[in-house]
Structure formats: structure tokens, C-alpha cells
């Protein structure tokens, strides 16, 4: 019962980050979010039909952003996963929480693991 109340409260508030976009086949994209230590964040990636298969990882501030940007598709995602502080690996849409281990920047990395491309809607609460 409490989980439903928390979910209802989160859905009735404005997200900290909201983006609707399209990923090309095999592509990777990244968003920067400033997190506060000890705070819980709910990350929701919705992939409308036809279902795309996107994976999401949240990389820590220890990831070298310039190196990430210089890597080719998929290698960039694997590199980011090496710094993961939370991730979702479900097929299709993703929903998971992150409890921030520090205060500072974090990188939300989305990759088209299914290599079909498609649209998505990302929200962070």
C-alpha cells in the first residue's frame, strides 16, 4: 500500500529531468544530472510501441566524459557501465532507483542494445 502512495506522489510531481527523443539504430546518448548524496532518484525510460530495447546506466562522476565522447558506438556504453552506480537491464522500458552515493554530477547513458532504434521518453524523479 505504501509503495502505491509513493508512486502516486512521484507521478504527481514534476520530474527533475524530462526528455523525449529518438535514438538511431545502435546509438548512445548521455544526459548529465546533479545528484545529492543520500537522495533517492527514480529513473524511468519508456519506449513506446513498437518496443525498442534500450539499456540505461548511470555512470559516476569518475567517468572521463571526454574519453566517453571519443569512443565509437557501443564501446562508449561499455565504458560508461564500468563506472555504473545504478542501471536497468530490462528488455524494452526501464524503471529503477538510484541512491546517490555523493553530491555532484552523474551521467545517464542510454544505448540502443536491440539495434532497432526508436523513440523514448526519459524522466527522472
- Give the pLDDT confidence of 26-40 residue by residue, as tens digits: 899 999 999 999 999
Please state the domain count of the chain.
1
- Give the pLDDT confidence of 57-78 residue by residue, as tens digits: 999 999 999 999 999 989 999 9
Q: Is residue 36 part of a domain?
A: yes
Give the confidence band of 1 by pLDDT, cuts at 50, 70, 90. Answer: very low
Alpha helices (runs of H) in the chain, residue ranges in sequence order: 2-11, 65-70, 75-81
pTM of the model: 0.86
Give the domain CATH number at 41: 2.60.120.380
All cell numbers assigned to 66: 571526454
Distance CA 105, CA 125 (A): 16
- Helix (H) or strand (E) run with residue 105 in it: strand 104-112
Amino acid at each position: 500500500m505504501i509503495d502505491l502512495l509513493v508512486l502516486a506522489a512521484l507521478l504527481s510531481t514534476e520530474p527533475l529531468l524530462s526528455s523525449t527523443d529518438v535514438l538511431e539504430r545502435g546509438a548512445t546518448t548521455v544526459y548529465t544530472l546533479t545528484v545529492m548524496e543520500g537522495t533517492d532518484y527514480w529513473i524511468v525510460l519508456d519506449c513506446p510501441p513498437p518496443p525498442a530495447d534500450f539499456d540505461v546506466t548511470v555512470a559516476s562522476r569518475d567517468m572521463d566524459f571526454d574519453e566517453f565522447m571519443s569512443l565509437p558506438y557501443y564501446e562508449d556504453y561499455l565504458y560508461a557501465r564500468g563506472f555504473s552506480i545504478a542501471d536497468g537491464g530490462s528488455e524494452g522500458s526501464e524503471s529503477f532507483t538510484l541512491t546517490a552515493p555523493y553530491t555532484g554530477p552523474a551521467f545517464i547513458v542510454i544505448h540502443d542494445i536491440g539495434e532497432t532504434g526508436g523513440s523514448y521518453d526519459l524522466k527522472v524523479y
